[in-house]
Amino acid sequence: MYLKLIEWFRKRSLSCYLAGIVALCTVLVLALFYCMPVHKNLLKETCFIFRPGQSVRQLAFDLEKRGLLDHPYFFIILARVTGVSHHLQAGQYCVLPGMRVWQLNSNLAHGRTKIYTITFIEGWNFKQIREVLSESPALRHLIKHKSEPDVMQLIGHPQKRIEGYLFPTTYYFNWQASDVSILRRAYQYMQQYLLHVWENRQPGLPYQSSYQALIVASLIEKEAKVDEDRAKIASVIINRLNKGMRLQMDSTVIYASGKRNIKQITRADFFSVSPYNTYRKRGLPITPIAMPGAASIYAALHPLHTDYLYYAPDYAPEGHGRHVFSQYFSEHIRLLKHYYSRIHRKK
């Protein structure tokens, strides 16, 4: 009886030992694969879509078909053993050269999807914003063929005009985010910044609302070429408004005509009747003419105190886009003559 018991324990120990070896080998193999590249021959970033309701098995074999995964069965086993298969999040993911299986699993489990960016540039108008949004294949396009009032309805502010109300910066988004969601964020950012600067504005400004300040900021954005000119241009605008003078800004003529730059403007454009043409209309344009950046908004609400009524391009070689400011029309004409004579000499 005693000998049989010893024999039974011996066999049991041997089977446990063998089972332990098998289990250890399995763990080592899985661990080895877990640290292996997803695909050893991948040469560039390649993205894929993991759709809602898709199983880890379907995902694994889809990746194998696309040449993004070397061992789908190991991937399935690892996802289930580690519990990742219960936490996969839908979205667009990317496989990078040299990416390890554990990195891909972690990205899928934590929803680390590919992040896209789109940038709105200071001085752009809504037409340009609409164009850059329409060119992004990662976005869902909901504003295509929509009028501006319809776009504002989608954003949630149907009573307002959209021009100038979008803050220029870089926006981050996931695959298949909507263009409306980008515009909604841009609108909210502009509202927040404009309110902050408006509440801390200089006293005595001739604006009846923050919207008028936004219009002036858009003029500064289109007129200024260097930062140090912004507050000076703001002072010129305010001085002219206070004296009842026309603003006579080329940028408003360009916007009114729908043309791209001053080189396309004709003499007739300066005499055209438009609520934007400040050569014909007194006061401000009826809306902003562009997206002003933070610096231009700040300048509109914190102008320099000057007597300037005019400015002309700096004709000096070191001008670098700056303007020369003056109080008197005669001085302004002299500066313009110097500028244009230098331009003609260059030609």
Domains in the chain: boundaries: 34-113, 116-195, 309-347
Q: Give which of 76, 79, 107, 74 is closest to 93, Cα–Cα.
A: 107
pTM of the model: 0.81
Confidence of residue 181 (pLDDT cuts 50, 70, 90): very high
Give domain 34-113's CATH number out of 2.30.30.40, 3.30.1490.480, 3.30.300.30, 2.30.40.10.
3.30.1490.480
For the segment 23-31, the average pLDDT, to the nearest whole number, is 47
Share of the chain above pLDDT 70, in %: 85
Share of the chain above pLDDT 90, in %: 53
Out of 39-48, 132-141, 162-171, least confident range:
39-48
The residue with greater pLDDT, 95 or 4, is: 95
DSSP H helices, the chain, are: 2-34, 56-65, 72-81, 101-110, 126-134, 148-155, 179-199, 210-223, 230-243, 250-257, 267-270, 294-301, 329-346
Confidence check: pLDDT of 7 > 80: no
Main-chain phi, psi angles of 118, to 5 degrees: -145, 140
Helix 179-199 with 126-134: angle, nearest 10 deg:
150
Confidence check: pLDDT of 59 > 80: yes
CA-CA distance, 164 to 22, in Å (whole number)? 68
pLDDT digits (tens, 9 = 90+) for 206-259: 999 999 999 999 999 999 989 999 999 999 999 999 999 999 999 999 999 988
Residue 81 in tokens: 């053993």
For the segment 94-114, the average pLDDT, to the nearest whole number, is 86
For the segment 94-122, the average pLDDT, to the nearest whole number, is 88
pLDDT digits (tens, 9 = 90+) for 67-93: 888 888 888 888 887 777 788 888 899
Confidence of residue 23 (pLDDT cuts 50, 70, 90): very low
Confidence check: pLDDT of 291 > 60: yes
For the segment 147-157, the average pLDDT, to the nearest whole number, is 93
pLDDT digits (tens, 9 = 90+) for 301-342: 999 999 999 998 876 655 567 888 999 888 888 877 776 666
| Model pLDDT, residue 186 | 97
CA-CA distance, 41 to 19, in Å (whole number)? 36
Amino acid at 169: T
Q: Give which of 241, 192, 195, 237 is closest to 218, Cα–Cα.
A: 237
CA-CA distance, 278 to 272, in Å (whole number)? 10
| Model pLDDT, residue 260 | 77
Please name the residues in contact with 294: beta carbons below 8 A apart, sequence gap of 6 or more: 193
| Model pLDDT, residue 30 | 47
CA-CA distance, 203 to 231, in Å (whole number)? 15
| Model pLDDT, residue 21 | 52
Task: Kindly report the number of other CB atoms within 10 A of residue 193's CB atom.
Answer: 17
pLDDT digits (tens, 9 = 90+) for 135-145: 999 999 999 98
Please name the residues in contact with 56: beta carbons below 8 A apart, sequence gap of 6 or more: 75, 76, 79, 80, 84, 85, 88
CA-CA distance, 75 to 71, in Å (whole number)? 6
